[in-house]
Chain A
Amino acid sequence: MPGESFSEYINSLSYGSRTDLLFKWLKNAGEESAEQFIQELLAELGEVVDTGDLSTLFNMIYEGQLAAYSPPGEETRWQYDDAPFAKLSKPLSEMRVGLLTSSGHHVLGEPHAPPELNDYTQEEATEHIGEYGRAKPFLSAVPTDAPQEKLGVHQPGYDIRAALKDRNTVMPIDRMNELETEGVIGEFAQTAYSFIGLTSQIRLTKEDAPAWAERVRDEGWEAAVLVPV
């Protein structure tokens, strides 16, 4: 846009006029790093048109995200002194194992978010991002025999394109079913769960996560695979 600064441009990628959830981290990275990234991206694209080798591009995105989201010495709010640890009571091949993700998967047509957020499209959700951070967590039950086409994804915190193409990128239901068939795990719990990770962390910590733990324990979960996005 005329008169727009580079700083305003990279800020617009993070819940602004050019929201791009795969590259929103450029705002965190800062002007200098973002400028360097774009310069190197163009240079690498120049190589790719000749070689067709995309691996360097993938590594650039990964390294950029790593530097932006996990900078050395970053102070975060949620730090703990204790480290709860439950031991396995028997071999996994004899256990019921569950799956829970923060990918925002849900059965199409069923409620999948707090009522005030439930009707937003993914695009509208990114425009109302602030509301999600204050919202009460909402847990969606996903039957592990449900086909991919019966599931939707609602999550304004990350780029959901891969999740829409193949749920196993973030919610590996098919892979867990295969591992059950193979006997690596005794049983894959019939109901998996997903929630919108972008939610009130205080409510999650104090109310919902402990309640979810009791819920899945009552459903016979003996161990859990957890996948954040």
Chain B
Amino acid sequence: MSVGHVSRAFESTGIPTVIVMSNVFRGRVTVMKPARTVFTQHIMGRPVGAPWDAERQTHVLREALKMLEQATEPQTSIVLPERYRVAGR
């Protein structure tokens, strides 16, 4: 919820945002109508990826930046298909 509020304030100030978050909280955030959201199917506390899994972390951020650049309307969102994994697996 907190970052949903921050996102709304940033967007209202003219700063485009993309939220990167675990899909487990999607219900609480979707109703806040955020501009752009990338949901990951990751365990709480590891939204970008597992410790030292740089490959997954970079992938998630690339998807987020792609959405930031390409979204043309509010409430654009995607659930990334990759499931949580540990580094090197």
User: Beta-carbon contacts of B59-89 to A below 8 Å, as 1s and 0s?
Assistant: 0011011001100011100000001111001
Q: If A66-B23, A76-B28, A217-B13 touch, does A163 touch B45 (CB 8 Å cutoff)?
A: yes
Complex: A143 Cα to B33 Cα, angstroms: 30
Which of B16, B32, B48 lies in contact with A227, CB distance below 8 A?
B48
> Are B43 and A65 interface neighbours, CB within 8 A?
yes
Name the distance in Å between A156's Cβ and chain B's nearest Cβ: 12
A54 contact set on B, CB distance < 8 A: 86, 89
A179–B32 Cα distance when bound, in Å, is 29
| Interchain CB contact (< 8 A) of B16 among A70, A87, A184 | A87
A125 / chain B contacts, CB cutoff of 8 Å: none
Contact B10–A213 (Cβ < 8 Å): yes
Quote the shortest CB–CB distance from A163 to chain B (angstroms): 7
Closest residue on chain A to residue B4 by CB atoms: A78
Note all chain B residues with C-beta closer than 8 A to A178: 58
**With contacts defined as CB atoms under 8 Å apart, how many contacts are there between chain A and chain B in the complex?**
235
Given A70-B24, A74-B27, A161 and B45 contact (CB-CB distance below 8 Å): yes
Of the 9-residue stretches A8-16, A31-39, A40-48, A167-175, which lies at the interface with chain B?
Answer: A167-175
Q: A175 contacts which chain B residues (CB < 8 A)?
A: 48, 54, 57-58, 61
| B43 partner residues in chain A, CB cutoff 8 A | 22, 58, 61-62, 65
The reply to whether B84 and A62 contact each other, CB–CB distance below 8 Å, is yes
Residues of chain A from 173 to 190 with CB closer than 8 A to chain B in the complex? 174-176, 178-179, 184-185
Q: Are A204 and B6 in contact (CB under 8 A)?
A: yes
Determine the chain A residues whose CB is within 8 A of the CB of B9 once the complex forms. Answer: 205, 209-210, 212-213
Contacts of B14 in A (CB 8 A): 86, 217
Question: Which of under 10, 10 to 19, 20 to 34, or 35 or more describes the interface residues of A?
Answer: 35 or more
Task: Tell me the minimal C-beta distance from B63 to chain A in angstroms.
Answer: 11
A201: chain B residues at CB < 8 Å are 1-2, 5
User: Across chains A and B, which 7 residue pairs bring their CB atoms closest together, nearest first?
Assistant: A70-B27, A228-B3, A209-B9, A166-B51, A83-B74, A85-B74, A83-B33
Q: What are 26 A-B pairs with beta-carbon distances under 8 A?
A: A58-B83, A62-B24, A69-B28, A69-B44, A70-B26, A85-B11, A88-B16, A101-B3, A102-B2, A102-B3, A169-B47, A170-B47, A172-B61, A179-B61, A184-B65, A197-B3, A198-B2, A209-B5, A213-B10, A223-B15, A223-B18, A223-B68, A224-B16, A226-B18, A228-B21, A228-B47
List the interface of chain A (C-beta within 8 A of B): 21-22, 25, 54-55, 58-59, 61-62, 65-66, 68-71, 74, 76, 78-88, 91-92, 97, 100-102, 137, 158-163, 165-166, 168-170, 172, 174-176, 178-179, 184-185, 195, 197-199, 201, 204-205, 209-210, 212-214, 216-217, 221-229
Residues of chain B having any CB pair with chain A under 8 Å: 1-29, 31-35, 41-52, 54, 57-58, 61-62, 64-65, 68-69, 73-75, 83-86, 89
